[in-house]
Chains A and B, each alone.
Chain A
Amino acid sequence: MKIYTRILLITGLMVSMANVSKAQLDFDSFLEAGLADANKLLEAYMAPAFKGIGYGVNAGWYNTARPHKTLGFDLNISVNAAIVPTSGEFFTFNNADYTNVKLSNGTSAQLPTLFGPNLGADDLPELRFLDNGEETIRISAPTGLGLDEVLPMNAVPSPMIQLGIGLIKGTDLKIRYTPDISLGDEDEGSVKLFGIGVMHDIKQYLPVVNKLPFDLSMFVGYTNLKTSIAVDSDLNQFAEFETKGTVVQALISKKIALLTVYGGLGYAKSKTTFGLNGVYTTENSSYTDPISLAYENGGLKANVGLRIRLLFFNLFGEYSFQEYSTATVGIGFSFREGASSTNIPMVPGI
């Protein structure tokens, strides 16, 4: 669980980097430029992080289309990495879209997002912060983290832990859950995860098809991830974000000896909200809950995966094709998996 907490913490920290770097590099100026400008700039800068989490929470729900027998169960831990597309590494800053933040040179520029390259100050456009038309300060545009320079891929991780339980008539109930886990000290923040999904064997209702040697199910899942990180707990300042994801898919899988090949096709959507909550006082003003952002994704989701079963243990990997394609790797164990009369084990006992 500690590892899980840590991974979630990492996710949260990555997501809060924009806030951090802004704060580090004169957060007061950022706020005093006006909340509308601050929200607009931050929304564009952080979009890949929040979109990525939205795609990530909808992945990794299953590694077979075959439900358990009644009271059979599986427990899986997985990491979903939503790969930030090249188009998500930069956003266009237009002077016309902002009131009190302008480029020092030119009227439009491509600025890195949080998941863009880590550029040095010489390569970053400069932003001018204005107050009633008068320049107050100039700051390099926020840089990206350059994650692809140190990690195998430029991706937003979403760790998941889930339990699947076989009910009756070819139905699995899947639960994602962590209690309210504190991050560090008790008042430094928390992470809470809840998800529920149902997978139901539909092949049993389809004449002819039910004789074919594969498994076919429908799946619907909902995930809710809430994270809160203290900016200053003494001042009751918190960065909070919540992601809600829903996925509906038709699943198909085929087990061949130790291997199960599976795939899904359907629709997934998510909504992520981020708020910088509390009262923030600058030299000139106070701001209550100054940052409030919302991101929504939705669209077709197609994925393919492969599972290797070694006794009770499962290793699985999956790839989802969508705007932010998502790679999933996981490990778990499973008992009392359902049997299919048309799936003939090639290795006795498996």
Chain B
Amino acid sequence: MKKNLLLILLMATIISACGEAGIQSDISQVVETDPVTVTIDLPAQAVGVLVNETPAITVETGDISITSDEFGEYGDQLQRFTINKIWYKLQGFDAGNEADLDITLNIISEGTTTKLLETTVVDAHTKTDDVLLFDKAAPGDVNSAAVSVIEGALLNGTSFKIELVLVGKNVRFQSSSDSFDFLFKFDVTARVQLD
């Protein structure tokens, strides 16, 4: 279907102008990434005890390639991507376990790591609903260069990863180990220009 529609569009576009401005549209979608699992281990003697700080843990998401999944069909007509919002949520904390998390988020694209932000998640075990991490309208301390890296990767059709460096703070576990998932959601706008 698309092929003929494109043909018709092409002809109609020629007719209409000549329309040097072409037709422009924004297409926006909220895209959820695959979860990345984080495991915090405590020594046996720390179970049930308040631990001030755990050793740093570094994990990465898998390759994130929103373009190919959601916007790839627009191909050369894509003009730019804009990240409007980023959310995270945590799932799978064992019941009774509590922790704050100091998190550093880095964007890794084409071998280059760019810090996105540092934040502290208080009562991380309760963050099972979406928590706003970045809002384009109020970017706060988020590194705009890292956001640009994501937008560039989307436009170029390349993948990127999110690296998380986590330090548990005020940790009180009822077991010696807890694994939970980080999930990220991106509100992405693709600008499409039909010439």
Contact = CB atoms under 8 A, between A and B. Distances in A.
B131 interface: no
B23 A21 contact: yes
B83 interface: no
Interface residues of B, number: 29
B174 interface: no
A283 to B, nearest CB: 12
Contacts of A136: 29
Interface in B28-66: 28-30
B192 A25 contact: yes
Interface string A163-190: 0000000000000000000000000100
B130 to A, nearest CB: 13
B15 A13 contact: yes
Interface in B59-116: none
B9 A147 contact: no
Interface residues of A, number: 40
Nearest to B28: A138
Contacts of B191: 121
B30 A140 contact: no
Contacts of B15: 10, 13-14
Contacts of A19: 5
Interface string A111-152: 000000010110010100000000111111011011101100
Given A13-B8, A23-B1, A24-B194, A150 B16 contact: yes
Contacts of B194: 21, 24
Nearest to A10: B15
A122 B23 CA distance: 12
A184 B95 CA distance: 68
Judged by DSSP, the binding face of B is mixed
Contacts of B189: 138
B24 interface: yes
Contacts of B24: 120-121, 140, 143
A121 B12 contact: no
B26 interface: yes
A21 B9 contact: yes
A145 B16 contact: yes
A344 B8 CA distance: 54
A143 B17 CA distance: 14
Interface of A: 10, 13-14, 16-17, 19-21, 23-27, 118, 120-121, 124, 126, 135-140, 142-143, 145-147, 149-150, 188, 229-233, 235, 237, 280
B19 interface: yes
Interface of B: 1-6, 8-9, 11-12, 15-21, 23-30, 189, 191-192, 194
Nearest to B6: A24
B23 A143 contact: yes
B5 A145 contact: no
Contacts of A120: 21, 24
A184 to B, nearest CB: 9
B5 A20 contact: yes
A20 B8 contact: yes
Contacts of B30: 135
A145 B4 CA distance: 20
Contacts of A121: 24-26, 191
Nearest to B12: A13
Contacts of B23: 21, 24, 118, 143
B140 to A, nearest CB: 22
The 7 closest A-B CB pairs, nearest first, are A138-B28, A140-B25, A121-B26, A13-B12, A150-B17, A23-B5, A232-B1
Nearest to B17: A150
A42 to B, nearest CB: 15
A17 B12 contact: yes
Contacts of B18: 150
A197 B126 CA distance: 78
A237 B9 contact: no
A145 B3 CA distance: 21
